[in-house]
Structure 1
Amino acid sequence: MPDQDGETSRTVVKTHVPAYQKRIWVDHADELGMSQSEFLRTMVQAGRRGFDPGRTVEGRSSESTSETGEMTGELATRIEAVLADSGPLSWDELVTALTDGLEDRLEDTLQTLQEEDRVRYSGRDGGYTLNEGRS
């Protein structure tokens, strides 16, 4: 969100999380078609909404709605584009429209991870698993 002088420059924020948590976040961001930075900004802003004492009944900040764009990021843009092209959609239709191509991307990515010996398929383990010793 711009400051009082309209500055929108960016800065780096660092945090430390367990490796498994980052993998979960990376996977979720990929599923949503978001960068890791956009995903984390969106999740932090969404979490802050629950703790914002200035929040209105509708869940929006009483100070400004300019945060809304930051919170929703690329996913909101994609939703709006799909609805603009298609008109009203049910939940299932919207999910299908937003995840179109995800299976192909997933298959390609899994193939690459297997070729790099980072992931393997194991019937004994019940599906895809990280190769031991990898993080």
Structure 2
Amino acid sequence: MAADTETDRTSVVTYVPSHQKTEWKNHAADLGMTQAEFIRTMVQAGRKDFTLETENPVEPDSPTTDPGGDDLESQVLDALESNDALSWDELVKSLSSDFEDRLESCLEALQRQNRIQYSGRNGGYTTIDQ
């Protein structure tokens, strides 16, 4: 039987100072990620700086259906491996919580930079005229 390169997985082993592993482990926990998910995400994020600027940046030879780098497949597998089974709603909630955290952080940063503000009068966030 031929190997399916789309679903084959392999391990990567690396050695780092113990303080660095501890820092990565804590950061992963803060983000609600497994250590493996955290490291994959950070490596993929770093690789984006090494691709050519194009209208639709693509990772070379990406085996995923999301060659831009979000790697949804790994996130789904990690969520399912951490649980016995997840319903559609549970899986959506598991995968979307990261987005809500990122959005909140982004909104807080934009408010600190005085680029946006919350306007009760307008019923939501608005940009601040510079």
- Tell me the TM-score normalised to structure 2 length: 0.48
- The TM-score, its normalising length taken from structure 1, stands at 0.46
With a CA cutoff of 8 Å and minimum separation of 6, indicate the structure with the bigger relative contact order: 1
Q: Name the structure where helix makes up a greater proportion of residues.
A: 1
